[in-house]
């Protein structure tokens, strides 16, 4: 899967899911449903790939460990907290 850096930043910093396909949009948005289900593997892989892309482009290795946290995350609350941390870092790096 090819990830464009500008799209990765839009997704992670601005939470702009419009760049994703419809079924992926629904999966990402499902993270914010407090229904105690495990996040799908597909959404975790896509988010991790986007974080990894940002890490390589911005040369920020701390994002790599957050990508692994997303990839292996087992509950939605933890993934959302990690995404919030990624967003904060991206706001610091790109503003």
Domain boundaries, the chain: 5-94
Task: Note the Cα 78 to chain centre separation in Å.
Answer: 12
What is the reported pLDDT for 33?
86
What is the reported pLDDT for 95?
62
Rg (Cα) of the chain, in Å, rounded?
Answer: 12
Q: How confident is the model at residue 45 (pLDDT cuts 50, 70, 90)?
A: very high
- pLDDT tens, residue by residue, 7-25: 999 999 999 999 899 999 9
């Amino acid at each position: 899967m090819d990830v464009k850096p500008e799209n990765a930043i839009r997704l992670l910093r601005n939470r702009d899911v419009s760049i994703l396909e419809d079924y992926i949009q629904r999966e990402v948005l499902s993270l914010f449903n407090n229904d105690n289900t495990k996040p799908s593997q597909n959404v975790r892989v896509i988010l991790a790939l986007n974080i990894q892309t940002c890490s390589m482009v911005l040369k920020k290795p701390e994002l790599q460990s957050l990508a692994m946290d997303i990839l292996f995350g087992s509950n939605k609350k933890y993934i959302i907290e990690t995404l919030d941390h990624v967003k904060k870092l991206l706001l610091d790096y790109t503003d």
